[in-house]
Amino acid sequence: FPIDITFKSTNPFGWPQIVLSVYGPDFFGRDVVRGYGAVHVPFVPGRHKRTIAMFVPESTSRLQQLTSWFTGRRPEFTDPKVVAQGEGREVTRVRSQGFVTICFNVM
């Protein structure tokens, strides 16, 4: 999807990121999270191609996994800042879920 955004900054600290939350249907047709990922927006003019590693949070116990499968309520992040910052995420159990490739045309 084309996105047209203009940014102005005095320093690149905390430079904007694109956070992806991908959803899709499960076996029963319910909309569930398929992956999360984040990438920094390049600030050098030109065409840039980035590959984003996607991941999904997992339940910590077998009972929670079974319950989430029956109810269709899988673990997901409520705040997208968790994906962008990574702070506090080291204790979260996640599973790799593939890749998304994104192209930037920076002027």
What are the sequence ranges of the domains in the chain?
17-106
Q: Identify the pLDDT of residue 18.
A: 86
pLDDT in tens, 20-75: 888 888 877 878 888 888 888 888 889 999 999 998 888 778 887 787 777 767 77
Letter for the amino acid at 81?
K
Q: Identify the pLDDT of residue 6.
A: 65
Residues 66-92 have a mean pLDDT of 74
Q: Are 52 and 100 in contact (CB under 8 A)?
A: yes
Q: Which pTM does this prediction carry?
A: 0.74
Beta carbons within 8 Å of 42's beta carbon, 6+ residues apart: 48, 50, 104, 106
| Cα–Cα distance measured from residue 52 to residue 100, given in angstroms and rounded to the nearest whole number | 5
